[in-house]
Structure 1
Amino acid sequence: MRHYLILSICAAAAIATFSASPAHATGAITCKAGPESGWKPRAELEAKLKKEGWQIRKSKVDGGCYEVYGTTPEGQRVEAYFHPVSLEKLYVAQRGKVLFRKKGY
């Protein structure tokens, strides 16, 4: 009976913890860019960055933004976020050190 009580308390605590915390993106910032149907294609961002001299290792959607892992024209390996409608650079970090953050993000 005692084990059942302890398990019940632990289960209730876990449920309360996970149900009380809101879902967040895993990234550093979030974009309020509207529905994905209004976004520019991720391939367009990648082509733009390559033209500017970036080397792209990976890109994905995170927090409503385009997140890019790559190397800048200056040779810095970074994680960068771009607005999916304007393709504007919003945030760039290197190993947790913020190199650039657009005001408001």
Structure 2
Amino acid sequence: MKRLLVLTALGSLLSATTALATGLATCDSGPQETWQPQATLEKQLTDKGWQVRRIKIDGGCYEVYAIDEKGQKVEAYFHPKTLAPVPTKKS
């Protein structure tokens, strides 16, 4: 019985740690049908000189992996309605 309790507690701790590590930004973005298309964000960034590698959804935000105009690797978050940059929480 003790072993089961210890394993359950350990599993809960690992789940909480994973949730904290992945949630760097959160957007109150509403339903996806009200969002701007990812292609619009990609064009906005490539017009600034970025090389966009991937755009995905994370925490209700668009998460972008890219190389910026200075040649630096970037992981950035943008609000899907406004396409404004979203500040991230440091983990």
Q: Which has the higher strand share?
A: 1
Q: Using the alignment, how far apart are the partners of 1:53 and 1:86 within structure 2? A: 20
Q: Using the alignment, how far apart are the partners of 2:46 and 2:68 within structure 1? A: 9
Classify 1:12/1:88 alpha carbon distance in 2 versus 1 (closer, same or farther; 3 Å).
closer
Count of residues paired in the alignment: 86
Unaligned 5+ segments in structure 1 are 97-105
Overall identity of the aligned pairs, in %: 45
Counterpart code for 2:58: D
Q: Indicate yes or no: 2:34 matched with 1:38.
A: yes
Runs of 4+ in structure 1 off by over 4 angstroms are: none
Unaligned 5+ segments in structure 2 are none
Q: Match of 1:49, SS?
A: helix
Q: Using the alignment, how far apart are the partners of 2:6 and 2:32 within structure 1? A: 40
Cα deviations across residues 56-87 of structure 1 (Å, max 9, x unaligned)?
11110001100001111122211111010001
Counterpart code for 2:60: G
Q: Match of 1:85, SS?
A: coil
Counterpart code for 1:40: Q
What is the TM-score normalised by the length of structure 2?
0.75
Is the contact made by 1:33 and 1:85 (CA closer than 8 Å) also made in structure 2? yes
Higher relative contact order (CA 8 A, sep 6+): 2
Q: Indicate yes or no: 2:54 matched with 1:58.
A: yes
Q: Using the alignment, how far apart are the partners of 2:25 and 2:9 within structure 1? A: 29
The root-mean-square deviation of aligned C-alpha atoms, in Å, is 2.6
Q: Using the alignment, how far apart are the partners of 1:49 and 1:42 within structure 2? A: 11
Q: Which has the higher helix share?
A: 2
